[in-house]
Amino acid sequence: MRSGKFITIEGPEGSGKSTHSRLLCVYLRRNGHRVVHTREPGGTTISEAVRQILLSKKNKGMADTCELLLFMAARAQIVEEVIKPALKKGYIVVCDRFHDATVAYQGYGAGMDLRMIESMRKLATGGLKPDLTVLLDVESRIGLRRGGAHDRMETKSPGFHKRVRNGYLKLAAKEPRRVKVICTTCSSVYDVQERVREAVNNVI
């Protein structure tokens, strides 16, 4: 049983996920909501350690299967340690990335089997899905220029990142009630945040 709301912020590199998830949490708290703000991979001591492995440029030789399993391991920990307990207490949980990122990056981006990833989702999350996913969309070349190449995932090829973006848009087309797309390519932070808040208010 859960009484809280689970909201995830997704998008390609440079789309503004971290900025808008932070601004959203400030807005929700100002309006009297109890909020837990977290991120993937990360959010717990164990998951943050896994994050360091996943994002370090020293690990360029990481196999796709290893990458997938590490993301799932980090997710399993944060779901059990942070997300589920907060939802049971009635909190709004705002998470910067969740399982859709794995589908987009390891599935569409790296070409791994989507059915296998879905099976692993059920194991890692216990079937937990967001009440709302805000997909901040940006053209790949613009997003990469904004974000730079600060970690291992960002240094992957332009073709990879284009597949990731297309994968996200396919996910949105499949689940339009859950996934709300907001274009950030030419919009100001203010305009995007207003649309994020509107989407969230419709759910909470």
* Residue-wise pLDDT tens digits, 118-154: 999 999 999 999 999 999 999 988 988 886 668 888 8
How much is the pTM?
0.94
Which 3 state secondary structure label does DSSP give 139?
A: coil
Pick the CATH number of 5-201 from 3.20.20.140, 3.40.50.2020, 3.40.50.300, 3.40.50.720: 3.40.50.300
Running DSSP on this structure, what letter comes out for residue 91? P
What's the number of CA atoms in the CB half-sphere (13 Å) around residue 81?
A: 15
Running DSSP on this structure, what letter comes out for residue 204? -
Segment 21-31 shows an average pLDDT of 98
Using one digit for the tens of pLDDT, what is the confidence trace for 35-93? 999 999 999 999 999 999 999 999 999 999 999 999 999 999 999 999 999 999 999 99
Per-residue confidence at 1, pLDDT binned at 50, 70, 90?
A: low
C-alpha dist (Å) from residue 71 to 64, 152, 182:
11, 14, 25
Return the exposure string of 174-194: e unless at least 16 CB atoms fall within 10 Å of the residue's CB, then b: eeeebbbbbebeebeeeebbe
How would you class 51 by CB atoms within 10 Å of its CB: exposed for 0-12, middle for 13-18, buried for 19 or more?
A: buried
